[in-house]
A and B are shown apart, each in its own frame.
Chain A
Amino acid sequence: MPAVQETVDRVKRIDVDQYRYGFETLIESDKAPKGLSEQTVKFISEKKNEPAWMLQWRLEAYRRWLTMTEPTWARVDYPKIDFQDLYYYSAPKPKKTISSLDEIDPEILKTYEKLGIPLREVAMLEGVEPKPGEDDPNRRKIAVDAVFDSVSVATTFKAELKKAGVIFMPISEAIREHPELVQKYLGSVVPTSDNYYATLNSAVFSDGSFVYVPPGVRCPMELSTYFRINERNTGQFERTLIIADKGSYVSYLEGCTAPQRDENQLHAAVVELVAHDDAEIKYSTVQNWYPGNSEGKGGIYNFVTKRGDCRGNNSKISWTQVETGSAITWKYPSCILRGDNSRGEFYSIAISNGYQQVDSGTKMIHLGKNTTSRIISKGIAAGKSQNTYRGLVTAHRKATGARNFTACDSLLIGDKCGAHTVPYIEAKNSSATFEHEATTSKISEDVLFYCIQRGLSQEEAVGLVVNGFVKDVLQQLPMEFAVEAQKLISISLEGSVG
């Protein structure tokens, strides 16, 4: 905790036009030519020394993508994206393979330090390799698979994970080292034909994480990845695949921040989770991409497809997200409850300020018997932003005894913003029980004044009240993230009142 605290404080001191994480790193990079074509796809695949089957998979996706059109149903509004005006691959020039943190480009490490990513701290606190006899089981460990631009530059804790049999590596490496696993699972939850952005991602994905937890193994540490966009006009296409085999457990943390930009940047990630019988996956995200400046210019377009497949009986997948950044967020982490008695959870905090547009929610697809799901969504809209919760809960004919509980609460700060709730519910069998609760409230002047009378500044008061409002969701986050997320929430609402 002190390490996280310190890095967060450090991040707070970096002040570039409101956006506290806006800075660039000067390193050479290796780019694909601008624009998207079969050539680009081949370039990416070649850069990564991919086997032929992978290139084939990408090309099929690319051809499919050419036949598709951008979806327009979300409540977001943005100028048309020129997909030929983007770069689809950018990598820091690799010097050599890395076995310890010391070998990483110091510029890159410095960036991580500025971001407040406890890579160094983790290494210092825990030792890159834990010394024998010094193993304190109470100390929580975080393995950081740092993604810089499009390539993973550091992987820590490999040894300990290896001992447990857990595979945790950049997906580009997994394609070469564990082709049988990747081929079996990649695209099995989000097929290449799924949706416009997911298909695009399938064609040009750059890198991301791969996790496989073998049967009966409880992953000995939280797995964590930090993403970052650094090249101007670089589309970011992260691809993450997590498989929890029978009776296993894994908790994965993902956090992102991005530097300040003038041009809009496209981010289209795909995350696939597979939980087999009795397995559990907990996936937590703190998203803080650059939201654009005070006039609504710039900012990241975040079109993400995240889906979990509770493939086995009694399996469980839980999504927790804290969304504070991006100019546009289009994101619906979902669960397919295929196995009998499987359970899906979605805990979300979505904050919009300035001119941000958030359209986020979840889908709970009940296919198996006695499947349960729970949705807790907290939307906070400030400034001139628009914040939409969009949710779908369905029970298939065979999903007897399916149960869902949904609670969507929206908090408005000021009167120029909007909060919207769009729930879709479909029960195809009569034994399903779906409960839905929704509230919308305005932040109370009396509550703010009470806090201010006790010595809090206006901004501290808003931060405190909002953190109270989202507490049920914050509690779902692992400790390391909860503290950071709490700070982020306050920072992202600065200047929203008064």
Chain B
Amino acid sequence: MPGRRSLFVLMALAFGFAFLYLPILAMIVYSFNASRLVTVWDSANSPTLMWYAELFRNAPVLDSARLSFRIATVNATGAVILGTLAAFALERYRRFRGRALFGLLTTAPMVLPEVITGLSLLLLFVALEQAIGWPGGRGATTITIAHITFSMAYVIVVIQARLATVDRSLEEAAMDLGARPWKVFFVITLPLIMPAIASGWVLAFILSWDDLVITSFVSGPSSTTLPQLVFSKVRLGVSPDINALATILVLIVTACVVAAGVYMVRLEKRRARDAQTAFDAAT
């Protein structure tokens, strides 16, 4: 019976969403709670924006936010540039020596435990500093480099998948018409994989924005990212302003995801519309 089945599907859906989003919802609701005690709802003075207001007066929070944003942006850009090059090499030059190994190595950070990635990067930075005097101490630079190494793996997967769908004969046609290989890349390949590059960028941004484990290994005393700040505050006891801060973090990630989603839907719609025009023109 379709009625019963759809009811079952609805319930499964509701349960699934509840499981995923109830904790976050609770956190968001409590961020508007006026009481200083996290678990007590002060119905007299709630909801209130006092914790949000407090956040924006809190210098360490603002500093961390700025740092996290800067690292995430630089990381996303770097990961996309390197990831595109690697994906291109993997997808287009299928016959180079050591291709399988290269492919495995670039995607390994996805499956390696973060603790291991973080630790090995820390060891590398320390060794490098002793050997060539760079990087001088740990901070924003080392965090960014560390983030690039692991988020690049995800970017490669996204871009390589897209690259595989780009018809090789398009690149050949461009070459046939007189474009040299590097020109073919910039004028033909790059525009065609732009959607993947955009989603790769957003993905890398979020990965960096969220990361705590690897960051803790390679950050220095003067560089505390937002997740680190939240974590250290929670260890001293949960205070309501954390809820507000976490809510903002979640909002930013959501905004990224929604923006990427809308962009994709719009691309898809435009394709469909253009295809319709073509159909009308043909008939």
Say whether A associates with B.
no
List B residues at the A interface (Cβ < 8 Å).
Answer: none
List A residues at the B interface (Cβ < 8 Å).
Answer: none
